[in-house]
Amino acid sequence: MKIKSIYIYLGIFIVIVLAIVLMDKSSTESETKTVVTTEMPNDAIHQGARGKMPNDAIHGKANQNGPSKADVLPQYYKRLDSLATAFASNPADTALGLEYAHYLAAGHQMDKALSVYDKLLKAAPNSKSILMEASYLSFQEKNFDKSQSFIEKIIQLDPNDMNARYNKGLILFFKKDTVNAVKIWKDVARKSPKSEEGKLSANMIKELKK
């Protein structure tokens, strides 16, 4: 039996926004452009799905056509410091806080990132996207109890959120509660058989029978 750790978002991805400032060859040294990724990044937070170490500048493997490690790291820490200062003054600014949390997570400062999520949830306690991101990061840190608490909150807000229900099953599985995990996956597969969550739930049940 081989079970993969698949924590799905269906559009609620943690977007690691690394402000990589590149010097335009045709511009002066003061002219820059910012590269922002809107797809699932190839970083340590998502390496479980990749099965390999990240190939980013923070890990010293910048793209050959992109900036060097020496170019990226100063810009990263400069932006991180700027976000820390700004968020300290505006802890209720969820957009600012999320960007700060993403930068912290990208730099593997998970405890600090989770602390930011806790503060954001005080300002927006019913935000499903923030709750999902906090649950995901807690899951990656193997803090399954905390991860489940965030997921339970989402289910309280929306009992029909199949994404949250699937992930609750996954958390319970990693907590060695296979019986209740399977019960949840059977329910998801029955109620939403054609959805991604339904298909994944059915597949997990099938894998457990091998």
CATH at residue 116 = 1.25.40.10
Domain with 97 in it: 20-157
What's the mean pLDDT in 139-157? 96
In a domain, 171, yes or no: no
Using a cut of 0.85, tell me whether the model's pTM lies above it: no
In a domain, 210, yes or no: no
**108-125: pLDDT as tens digits:** 999 999 999 999 999 999
The residue with tokens 């976000």 is: 83
Alpha-helix residue ranges (DSSP H) falling in 124-195 = 128-140, 144-157, 162-174, 178-191
For residue 79, CA distances in Å to 19, 91, 144, 150 come to: 7, 17, 31, 28
pLDDT the model gives residue 62: 37
Residue 21 has pLDDT above 70, yes or no: no
pLDDT the model gives residue 68: 53
In a domain, 187, yes or no: no
Residue 203 has pLDDT above 50, yes or no: yes
pLDDT the model gives residue 210: 81
Structure confidence at residue 74 as a pLDDT band (50, 70, 90): confident
In a domain, 65, yes or no: yes
The two tokens of residue 93 are: 């600014």
Number of domains in the chain: 1
In a domain, 25, yes or no: yes
In a domain, 26, yes or no: yes
In a domain, 47, yes or no: yes
In a domain, 199, yes or no: no
What is the spatial distance between Cα 165 and Cα 39, in angstroms, rounded to a whole number? 24
Comparing CA positions, the residue from 43, 35, 28 lying closest to residue 105 is: 43
